[in-house]
């Protein structure tokens, strides 16, 4: 902690000499009318602003030199203007109406700008591509504030996950082009189903906290919004290949037609990724493609996007038992069984197999200079299974008869089973956006329908009994309809004060029919009606400083597992409620940036694991009355030299349950012991998270960066026990990039990424089951070690 505080203080104290000049001006349309709210970025600095009600802007304390102003406004052609500063500069800049409607209209309803009182980070394609040489999406976003990643296989390929402010992905809203990506039943997102999705991403915005209203799952920690396939006017082709440790290989081909006849574009991508993983047998075989076709006019966009992923991964979900961490950090016990000779072997197809296909159709239209309409239709199809070799399984557990052989009755058998999910998700989203001088507003919403079929098959048995081929032993389905409508608006009261309001109504119908894998009838039906208001303001102190405040309420319904795992004799899980308070401050100079955000996330009925079990012994999540997350997020950056830049973020937080009671299984009495603990820490919620990137451009073609991440201690369960804790870790990665342009190629890039440069041993996730036996406390557990020093080497060729 002292190291992190020292770094933060150093960033705040080290400050480059102030500049002497001002860049100011006015942004107008072709008729001379001001364009309020136009976005302006001073490239290669930390400066960014938007025009006031009269179209004016100002940047002060600018050093002598040459700069580029990047100016954009919906419906107008973006402008990059070179500015030479050796005295105060004033500019009148006129924007011309765009010849075609811009892609930003597709996502404008779910994105926020600087004047919206929300803590957010936006990453453009150039930053995403910097590290996109093999690892999954969570690892490419890992340097954003309050962000913690984990990999089951230990090297960032295969099953990966992330948390933001300690909140797991089941409570984080994820959309692609404004269309929900979270699974309707589990609320989760599995990036392994979308391998190399990052190669199709143009930009991503992460809103921390409740954020602004969007479509899909409730945002209980953050909203992550991706945009894919924006307009590329010129033809292009690109080949990306990489190779690295653990036999990791990635190959991607991307190409685009550019603008054809001033109206049509076509883009495509084909990818394959494979890796053995750091953990034993945790291999991944991943394939994906994405295509897009669009028709553009001055006031219309019609676009079709299709993307698909297919994955096969050897399961590594159990982790490494704690007692093996010091001797065998790569151990994977999944698939283990005894062969006919009594030797321990591993089933070679203990794998997860899934394919997911996404279809999106967008129609956007400029109804007038002030009104834009966007509609989208979507359909997602997913189908797959995971396969397991199971020893000594009782016939009765699979709806099979005992087998009589002579005078002997066999009651169990070895078998191979598959658990299947076959799901369909479809719907429509819409938004109507108004942009005026003082007002900008959005009316939007969505209707979505989901059908998920869950069933199990037996594909082989040692002893056949009455089993047919592909014998089905359970079958159930979930049906979910999700409707929401929202309205949000910004009102520019004067040149300094902007007031924000946001109201969403969401209605959910969810029903489950059938029996589960243990023959329990899980038929049930639930209805939810949620009202989610948000209010706030942003205030511009001067051209360098601003602040904001917001308050928002969010609700989240329990997911499938919360419902089917609950004890039928106990209470039904209640929806969770979050009241989120955010206060932010920003200070920007050309060579220095400071952003600070204080948050208090007050939960009612948050669902957590307490150790309680249901009537068949499975763990259940229980509503706790009061819990909270409170913290301070700091983002800083400094240009130490023209070619040396240091960016740093840090989060300091407290994450608590107010009144917590733990439950522990007692194997001697077949009951549970309870213990009231009072105030405890929320699991997997480190008090300190920090990220750092020191970037040095050695020469014009060579870029070197030291990328660091610190994550504080994390408790594995909610008891605050020092015996069940992930130790803090501090890891460093080295990034080297060489780029070259020639007459033959537009650009060639060579990239070397060395992860965990100092070979730190650390774990990012774990689980623990505690019980009493013979009066002694005992545990089963599993930890997820991450790889030591390892590398990826990439080559990118652009044509």
Question: Which pLDDT belongs to residue 10?
Answer: 47
Cα torsion angle, 26, 27, 29, 33, sign: negative
> Which residue in the block uniquely carries the two structure tokens 């992905």?
169
Model confidence at 3, pLDDT cuts 50, 70, 90, reads low
In the chain, what percentage of residues exceed pLDDT 90? 77
Report the distance separating Cα 787 and Cα 669, nearest Å: 42
Report the distance separating Cα 288 and Cα 282, nearest Å: 20
Question: Which pLDDT belongs to residue 253?
Answer: 97
Q: In Å, what is the CA distance from 679 to each residue of 211, 386, 631, 657, 720?
A: 28, 39, 17, 6, 9
Radius of gyration of the chain (CA): 27
Model confidence at 495, pLDDT cuts 50, 70, 90, reads confident
Report the distance separating Cα 625 and Cα 114, nearest Å: 35
Whether 43 and 79 have beta carbons less than 8 Å apart is answered as no
Mean pLDDT, to the nearest integer, of 396-402? 94
Mean pLDDT, to the nearest integer, of 273-300? 96
Q: Which of 20-29, 140-149, 417-426, 619-628 has the lowest mean pLDDT?
A: 20-29
User: Three-state SS for 411?
Assistant: coil
What is the Cα 774 distance to its own chain's centre? Answer: 44
Question: Which pLDDT belongs to residue 185?
Answer: 96
Report the distance separating Cα 688 and Cα 783, nearest Å: 21
Nearest alpha carbon to residue 360 among 287, 285, 308, 419: 308
**For residue 795, pLDDT beyond 50:** yes
Mean pLDDT, to the nearest integer, of 522-551? 95
- Parallel, antiparallel, or unpaired: how do β-strands 236-244 and 248-256 relate? antiparallel
Q: Which of 167-176, 352-361, 599-608, 739-748 has the lowest mean pLDDT?
A: 739-748
Cα torsion angle, 456, 462, 464, 468, sign: positive
Model confidence at 15, pLDDT cuts 50, 70, 90, reads very low
Contacts of 338 (CB under 8 A, 6+ apart): 344, 345, 391
- Between 145 and 408, name the one with better pLDDT: 145
Nearest alpha carbon to residue 562 among 677, 449, 478, 465: 478
Q: Which of 97-106, 303-312, 351-360, 499-508 has the lowest mean pLDDT?
A: 97-106
Q: Which of 49-63, 148-162, 289-303, 445-459 has the lowest mean pLDDT?
A: 49-63
**Mean confidence (pLDDT) of the chain:** 93
Report the distance separating Cα 194 and Cα 212, nearest Å: 25
Model confidence at 12, pLDDT cuts 50, 70, 90, reads very low
Q: Which two tokens stand for residue 3?
A: 């190291």
Mean pLDDT, to the nearest integer, of 365-377? 94
Residue 427 backbone dihedrals phi, psi, to 5 degrees: 170, -165
**For residue 53, pLDDT beyond 60:** yes
**For residue 174, pLDDT beyond 90:** yes
Q: Which two tokens stand for residue 605?
A: 């009925």
Please count the other Cβ atoms lying within 10 Å of the Cβ belonging to residue 448: 22
Whether 348 and 334 have beta carbons less than 8 Å apart is answered as no
**For residue 11, pLDDT beyond 60:** no
Question: Which pLDDT belongs to residue 699?
Answer: 82
Q: Which of 86-95, 259-268, 499-508 has the lowest mean pLDDT?
A: 86-95
- Between 742 and 296, name the one with better pLDDT: 296
User: Three-state SS for 462?
Assistant: coil
**For residue 729, pLDDT beyond 80:** yes
Question: Which pLDDT belongs to residue 270?
Answer: 98
Please count the other Cβ atoms lying within 10 Å of the Cβ belonging to residue 124: 11
Report the distance separating Cα 397 and Cα 510, nearest Å: 28
Please count the other Cβ atoms lying within 10 Å of the Cβ belonging to residue 466: 11
In the chain, what percentage of residues exceed pLDDT 70? 98
What is the Cα 219 distance to its own chain's centre? Answer: 12
Mean pLDDT, to the nearest integer, of 425-436? 95
pLDDT in tens, 578-598: 999 999 999 998 889 999 999
Question: Which pLDDT belongs to residue 387?
Answer: 97
**For residue 18, pLDDT beyond 50:** no
Report the distance separating Cα 727 and Cα 484, nearest Å: 42
- Parallel, antiparallel, or unpaired: how do β-strands 576-588 and 592-613 relate? antiparallel
- Between 619 and 627, name the one with better pLDDT: 627
């Amino acid at each position: 902690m002292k190291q992190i505080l020292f770094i933060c203080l150093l960033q705040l104290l080290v400050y480059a000499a102030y500049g002497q000049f001002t860049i100011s001006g006015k942004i107008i349309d072709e008729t001379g009318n001001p364009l309020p709210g136009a976005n302006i970025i001073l490239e290669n600095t930390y400066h960014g602003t938007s025009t006031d009600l009269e179209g004016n802007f100002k940047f002060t304390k600018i050093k002598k030199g040459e700069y580029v102003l990047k100016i954009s406004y919906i419906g107008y052609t973006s402008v990059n203007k070179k500015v030479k500063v050796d005295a105060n500069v004033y500019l009148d800049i006129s924007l011309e109406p765009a010849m075609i409607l811009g892609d930003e209209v597709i996502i404008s309803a779910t994105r926020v700008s600087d004047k919206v009182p929300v803590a957010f980070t936006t990453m453009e394609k150039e930053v995403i591509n910097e590290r996109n040489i093999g690892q999954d999406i969570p690892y490419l976003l890992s340097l954003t504030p309050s962000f913690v990643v984990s990999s089951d296989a230990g090297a960032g390929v295969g099953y990966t996950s992330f948390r933001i402010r300690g909140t797991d992905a089941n409570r984080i809203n994820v959309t692609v082009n404004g269309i929900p990506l979270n699974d309707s039943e589990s609320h989760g997102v599995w990036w392994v189903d979308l391998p190399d999705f990052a190669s199709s991403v143009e930009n991503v915005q992460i809103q921390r906290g409740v954020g602004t209203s969007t479509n899909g799952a409730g945002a209980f920690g953050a909203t992550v919004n991706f945009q894919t396939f924006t307009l590329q006017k010129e033809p292009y082709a690109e080949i990306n290949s990489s190779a690295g440790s653990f036999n990791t290989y990635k190959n991607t081909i991307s190409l685009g037609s550019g603008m054809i006849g001033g109206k049509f574009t076509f883009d495509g991508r084909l990818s394959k990724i494979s890796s053995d993983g750091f953990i034993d047998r945790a291999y991944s075989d991943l394939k994906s493609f994405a295509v897009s076709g669009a028709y553009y006019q001055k006031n219309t966009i019609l676009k079709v996007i299709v993307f698909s992923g297919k994955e096969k991964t050897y399961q590594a979900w159990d982790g490494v038992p704690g007692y093996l961490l010091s001797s065998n950090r790569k151990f994977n016990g999944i698939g283990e069984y005894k062969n006919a000779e009594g030797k321990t072997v591993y089933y070679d197809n203990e794998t997860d197999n899934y394919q997911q296909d996404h279809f999106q159709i967008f129609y956007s239209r400029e109804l007038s200079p002030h009104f834009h309409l966007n509609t989208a239709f979507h359909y997602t199809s997913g189908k797959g299974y995971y396969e397991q070799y199971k020893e000594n399984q009782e016939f009765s557990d699979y709806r099979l008869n005992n087998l009589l052989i002579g005078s002997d009755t066999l009651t169990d058998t070895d078998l191979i089973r598959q658990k299947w999910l076959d799901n369909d998700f479809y719907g429509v989203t819409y938004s109507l956006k108004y942009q005026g001088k003082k007002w900008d507003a959005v009316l939007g919403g969505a209707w979505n329908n989901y059908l998920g079929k869950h069933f199990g098959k037996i594909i082989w048995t040692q002893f056949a009994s009455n089993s047919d081929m592909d014998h089905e032993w359970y079958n159930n389905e979930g049906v979910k309809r999700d409707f929401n409508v929202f309205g949000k608006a910004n009102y520019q009261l004067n040149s300094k004060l902007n007031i924000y309001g946001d109201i969403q109504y969401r209605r959910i119908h969810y029903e489950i029919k059938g029996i589960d894998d243990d023959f329990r009838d899980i038929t049930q039906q639930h209805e939810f009606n949620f009202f989610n208001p948000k209010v706030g303001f942003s205030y511009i102190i001067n051209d360098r400083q601003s602040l904001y405040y917001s308050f928002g309420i969010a609700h989240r319904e329990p997911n499938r597992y919360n419902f089917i795992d609950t004890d039928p004799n106990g209470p039904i899980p209640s929806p969770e409620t979050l009241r989120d308070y955010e206060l932010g401050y920003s200070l920007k100079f050309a060579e220095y940036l400071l952003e600070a955000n204080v948050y208090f996330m007050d939960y009612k009925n948050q669902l957590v694991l307490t150790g309680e079990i249901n009537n068949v012994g499975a763990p259940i999540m229980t509503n706790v009355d009061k819990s909270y997350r409170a913290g301070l997020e700091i983002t800083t950056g400094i240009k130490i030299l023209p070619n040396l830049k240091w960016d740093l973020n840090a989060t300091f937080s407290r994450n608590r349950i107010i009144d917590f009671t733990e439950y522990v299984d007692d194997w001697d009495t077949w009951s549970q012991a309870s213990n009231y603990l009072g105030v405890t820490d929320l699991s997997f919620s480190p008090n300190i998270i920090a990220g750092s990137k020191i970037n040095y451009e050695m020469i014009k073609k060579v870029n070197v960066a030291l990328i660091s991440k610190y994550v504080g201690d994390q408790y594995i369960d909610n008891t605050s026990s020092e015996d069940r804790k992930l130790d803090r870790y501090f890891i460093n990665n080295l990034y080297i990039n060489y780029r070259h342009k020639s007459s033959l190629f537009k650009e060639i890039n060579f990239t070397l990424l060395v992860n965990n440069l100092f070979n730190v041993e650390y774990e990012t996730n774990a689980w623990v089951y505690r019980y009493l036996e013979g009066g002694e406390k005992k545990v089963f557990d599993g930890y997820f070690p991450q790889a030591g020093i390892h590398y990826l080497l990439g080559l990118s060729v652009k044509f």
